[in-house]
Structure 1
Amino acid sequence: MNKHEKLLELVKKRRQPDILPQYARLADYADGAFDRDCNFVSPYSKGAHNINADVMIMLQDWSSDNALRRSGGPSELGRDPNLPTNRTLDRLLRDAMGLKLEDTYATNLFPFIKGRGLSARFPFADLVLAANEFALPQIRIVAPKLVICLGKNTFNAIHVAASQGRLTHGAERCHTMEDAINAAFTVELEGRKVAIWAQAHTGAWGQSNRNKGAPGRTSGDWVKMSRSVGLLAAR
C-alpha cells in the first residue's frame, strides 16, 4: 500500500467503536456529515496534508462534545485560520522554517471527541493508547524529519508510547515545558531518523506561560529546534 492507502486504513480504524468506546466519533454529529466529509485521521489534516512533508505538526485533540453540538455542519472541520492559536502556529512555522501550514502534515494525537468543553482533560493512559494506535502509525507512514508536539501532554504521550514500542529507551513523563523541550529524542523508522520535539502550545495560555519573564522565548525555542534538525529558515 502507498502512504495514502495506509492513512485511509487508520481512518477506518478511527471509525470503529471498539477503541476507547467511551469517547464520541465524528459520525455522531450532524447526522454523520462530519465523518462522511473527513477521510483523514483528524479533521485538522484537511488544510495540511502533505504526506511527503519534512515536518509533522502533532496537536493533542481537535474538538469537544459541546463545540460540535453547537455546530451547524461540516464547515467547522479543519481549522479556523483566524483563531489566535492558529495564527501563532502560522507565524512560528514561517519565521523558524520558512514554511506554511499546508507545507506540513498536521494532525491530532487523539482522534476522538472529548466530553464537555474544549478545555476538558483526558486520562494520560488514554492519550498513550491513542499515540500507539494512531499517532505513531502516522509518523511511520509520513516519515518526516521532524515531529513537533504542541503541548507537554502530547509530547509525553508520544515519548511513552515510543518507549513502550521500543523505538526509544524507557521514558519518564516531563513535568515542565522546559523539561519537555530539552527531552527531544530521535527514533529510526525504516532507515530514516525522525526527531521528535516538544513546543509550547500555540494557544494564549501555552504561549503566555512559556514567555513569562522572557518575551519571545517560544520563537527562540523554534529557532533552536529548527537549527538542530537542519530546517532553519534562511535569514
Structure 2
Amino acid sequence: MVQRIEEELLLLARKRQASQWPGYRNIHEFHNGAYEADYISPWSKSAHNLESGIVILGQDWASEDFLQGPFNEAVARFGYDPKLPTNINLSRLLNDHLQLRFSDVWATNLFPFVKSGGMSAQIPAAEYRRAAVEFLMPALEIAKPKHVICLGAGVRRHFGSVAGLGKMPPMDIAISKPLELDGVLVHTVAHTGALGTNNRGKQRVEEDWKHLADRVL
C-alpha cells in the first residue's frame, strides 16, 4: 500500500519538476539541481512518513534570493535549514506536545515552486489555489491522511478556499475548531516563524499545540 502511494506521489513530483509556471522557477534550476527532490516539496526529504496519518502543511518552500545565495549543504541534505527559527520551533512543538520528531510525520508545502525575491515575498492567492488544485489536493487524495495541520492563517485560507471549507474565520476560531474534509480533520496553528509566534503570543502557541495534541493523538 505504502509503495503504491509513494509511486503515485512520485508522479506528482515529476509533474512539478517538468512544469514551468510564468514568473516562477523550479527547484532544479539552482546549484546544479542539488536542492531537487523526488517529492512535491523538498521539505518531504526529512518528513515523508505517510503512515503517520499527519500532514504538516506549509505555505511555500523557498525564494529565488535564498536559493541563489551560497550553497547550503543542510538544505540540500534535509530539504530545510535546521537553523531557521521556523524549523526550530516546529520541531520543538512537535516533540513537546505530540512526542513526534519531524521525521515521524509527512510535511509538504502548498506552493511547490520558487518565488521571486526574498523569503517574505508574496504570492498571489490565485497561484496558491492553482497549486492546491494541481498538486496538493491530488496528493491528499492519494495518501488519505487523517490530519492536516495548516501552519498559519494564509495556508488555511488558500487551502480552505480550494477544499470547500468556506471563508477563513478569525484565527481564534480557526485554531479552536478543526474542520472535517471527507474524513480528514483540518487543523490550524500559528505559523511557527518569529512573526507568527509573536503575533499569536508564545504562551497561546503552547496552549494551541496542547489542544492540538488532544485531537490528534
TM-score (norm 2): 0.91
Report the Cα offset of residue 141 of structure 1.
2.2
- C-alpha separation in 2, matches of 1:136 and 1:17: 17
Report the Cα offset of residue 220 of structure 1.
0.9
- C-alpha separation in 2, matches of 1:108 and 1:157: 12
1:197 is the counterpart of 2:191: no
- Which whole-Å deviations, capped at 9, do the CAs of 1:44-91 have from their partners, x for residues lacking one? 111111121221100101110001111326652311223221111111
Report the Cα offset of residue 183 of structure 1.
5.0
Report the Cα offset of residue 154 of structure 1.
0.6
1:121 is the counterpart of 2:108: no
Equivalent residues, number: 213
- C-alpha separation in 2, matches of 1:223 and 1:138: 28
Q: 1:218 aligns with which of 189, 193, 205?
A: 205
2:142 corresponds to which residue? 141
Matches within 5 A, 1:19-98: 20-35=21-36, 38-72=37-71, 75-77=74-76, 78-98=79-99
- Which whole-Å deviations, capped at 9, do the CAs of 1:11-43 have from their partners, x for residues lacking one? 11102335x3321101221233433xx111111
SS in 2 for 1:172: coil
- 2:99 maps to amino acid: G
* Structure 2: 5+ residue stretches without partners: none
| TM superposition outliers: structure 1 runs of 4+ over 4 Å | none
Report the Cα offset of residue 182 of structure 1.
3.9
1:6 is the counterpart of 2:4: no
1:184 is the counterpart of 2:178: yes
Higher helix share: 2
- C-alpha separation in 1, matches of 2:168 and 2:11: 30
* Structure 1: 5+ residue stretches without partners: none
- C-alpha separation in 2, matches of 1:178 and 1:147: 18
Report the Cα offset of residue 179 of structure 1.
3.8
1:172 corresponds to which residue? 167
Q: Percent identity?
A: 38
SS in 2 for 1:2: helix
- C-alpha separation in 2, matches of 1:186 and 1:15: 31
TM-score (norm 1): 0.84
